[in-house]
Each structure stands twice: as C-alpha cells, then as structure tokens.
Structure 1
C-alpha cells in the first residue's frame, strides 16, 4: 500500500534530503560567487542581459530567503531569460514566455523519481495557498511515453491544484542541462514576471513550509 503523506506536512525524509541539499548548494554558491576572471570584472550577478536588468535587485532579495527548507536555492548569475517549451493542460504547445506577468515556480518531475513523488503534495499545497493571477507552480512531467502513468500518479496522490504540464520528449530537461541548471530530478526554477531566471535548485524541498512561502513572497515582490 502506498504511504501517502497529508498535504502541508513535509516528511522527515524530505526535510533531511532538502537540508543536505541546502548545505551542498551553499558551498557551491560560495564558490561561484567568489570565483572571478581575475581581470577585475564586475560580479556575474551584475552582468545581466538587457531583458533582465531589472531582475538584479529581485535576485538579491530572493537570495536572502534561500535558507532553511529552501537553502538549496542558488541565485541566477546572471539573471537571464529562458525560452523553455512544453505542453499545456490542453495538449497545446506552451513556452515560458506565455506566463508573462506571473512569477513562476517551474518544477520538472517524473513518476520514477522518488524525491519528485515525495515533494509533489507540497507543491500542490503551495499552489493552493499562493497560486493566482500573480503566481503559479508549473510542474512539468517528463515521463516518456503516454499520459497514463503521470495522470494516474496525480490522481492517486490527490494532486488537484496543479495544471497538467508535460514534455515526453524531455527537451525541457535537456535545455536546462545545457544551461548548467539540471543535473538530475527534481529541478526547480524561480522565474520573474518577465520570464527571467531568478534562482534554481536541484533536489527536493518542502514547498509548503514557511521558508518556501517567504521565498516566493520575495520573488513576487510583495
């Protein structure tokens, strides 16, 4: 029998995994922030693309809330637009640009990924509490094959607040891998209202925790 956890109650296992990921990400973040060209160049964070120049302050603000259950979140260096494609709930093609005007928590998951399954109820709870016109959890399933397994999983676990986003080609994962943002699953990105990457993490998190909600509030700028 599947042992499902109630929404809003992160499992001890998930908290431990997220905590370890946070320590490792913190070490990586320190390394990245202190590594330069040696030629007196400005920090990477300041070298934002023109489309995302206004995102620098938001990156800094969100970084201050990358702690506790979401300590594994690492600031984008630099913040930049990402053009990612996948299918929407109606099966039509979507791009991250289609979410303009919303802060987006983009999460890649698969039914065969244990940590993904563990954190999905928390993502569902976050969408229920904070989702709306200005924010959405966009959980993109990357199982290959047909829709049977991912839809069965969502139904079995009572995931009823998330839109059904899908990419059976795994193209979105491969695109993030080329960007140096994806090393495994789950992968989670925070993108601002203009589609600019603010921060990213590999590994699970307790997305229904106060730490996660504070980070999202900072990302929304409210």
Structure 2
C-alpha cells in the first residue's frame, strides 16, 4: 500500500474517532455496544472524599491483584471513598437507596434491556449471587429502562433470573449521578461498595461474572 493511501486511511480514522467522541459525549449512554471489558473508569473518581470510610489502604492494595483476567477492568481505588447518594425503587415501587443495604458488601450493577452487553452478563451475575451471595454480600442490579416495569420484568423472567430482585430507576438519575462523579460513561457500570457504603472499585463495560477470576475477586472483597 502506498504512503498516500496510508495517510488517507489514518486521516479518515481520526475524523471518525473525533465524530464518535462527540456523539458519546453528547449521549453519555450507549446500549448496543458498550465498552469492552478492559475499559477503565475515569481517573477523576480519585477526587471523591474518603471521610468516614473504614477500608484500609493495605486491604485495597491486597485486593488489587485479584482484579485480573476476566475482571481486569475493575479499578481498585488506592483509598476508599464516599459514594454519592443513589435513589431507586424496589420491585414493589418503594423508594430505596444504598443505605438500605448497610452492612453488606455490594456489587452494584447498572443495566438496561436495550444494552446488549448488560443482557449478556445478567445470567452470570445471577450465578455469582447464587454461589457467593449471603448476609454479607449481594449483587445489587439496578435497571435504568425508561417507562414502566413491564419490559425489565419480562426480560428477567425470560432468562430465568429471579434471585437479583428488580431494582429500578426509570429517570436514569443513578447513571447521571455516577457520570457526574466520573464513575460512569457507558453501560454496564459495576461498582464495588463496601459494608460501610464506601466505594472500593469501579468498572465500565461487561465482565464474565461467573468466572473463577470474578469469584476470586469477590471472595477477597467480602473479607474487607
């Protein structure tokens, strides 16, 4: 291939990348093709306050090597940080928030039925909950479909997932809150929230949550 053709191809690719960047910046959420599993959360999350958080830096440092393989995109923080307030509703339409799960280590996952990677990882999240879920750990999946509950409810019934409950925020407020904090820029979004409600790690993009890599990470997480 000639140098002129190479230059033209490079220029075209740059133009496409710029255009796509503008679209993603304007929309903020993309469902059919979310980020790959190796996409990391923005560094701006480091600015969150750690006041009142109990996890020690040494505990997080020990957890970091477990974010590997299928869950290598999980960014373990150097220090724990206060989570922003997240409001959603439960299956009965009652208001809920992270504070209702105080004392439990949470794998918080934001998903939508129109997000293909979200749909694909939901059975694995359910398997993770079945194997490792207990009084001290929970997969907290929060649906952000607009409209009524019918569509996400039908999807979970279709794939046979009943152990995650159905927590929802039809306003997409939880996503926008995390986006403002530099924690979310696509779906799915997954956060590791400690028993004290503080953020320990964040990931943008899907993962194989039923893998041995994921289970090892969660076992380490449960010990903090």
Partner Cα distance (1:177, 1:124) in 2: 25
Partner of 1:62: 63
Runs of 4+ residues deviating >4 angstroms: none
Consecutive unaligned residues in structure 1, runs of 5 or more = 1-16, 36-43
- Count of paired positions: 189
SS of alignment partner, residue 126 of structure 2 = helix
Offset, 1:53: 4.5
Consecutive unaligned residues in structure 2, runs of 5 or more = 1-33
Q: How does 1:103-182 map to 2 (within 5 A)?
A: 103-182=105-184
What is the TM-score of this pair, normalised by structure 1?
0.79
Partner of 2:195: 193
Describe the superposition over 1:133-182 as per-residue Cα deviations: whole angstroms up to 9, x where unpaired: 00000000000000111000000000121111100011100000001011
SS of alignment partner, residue 54 of structure 1 = coil
Q: How does 1:13-32 map to 2 (within 5 A)?
A: 21-22=37-38, 24-25=39-40
With 65-74 and 92-101 compared, the bigger mean Cα shift is at 92-101
The answer on whether the counterparts of 1:58 and 1:219 sit within 8 Å (CA) in structure 2 is no
Partner Cα distance (1:49, 1:102) in 2: 19
Return the index of the structure with the highest Cα Rg: 2
Partner Cα distance (1:96, 1:151) in 2: 21
What is the TM-score of this pair, normalised by structure 2?
0.78
Partner Cα distance (2:212, 2:181) in 1: 30
Describe the superposition over 1:112-149 as per-residue Cα deviations: whole angstroms up to 9, x where unpaired: 00000000000010011111100000000000000111
Partner Cα distance (1:214, 1:115) in 2: 22
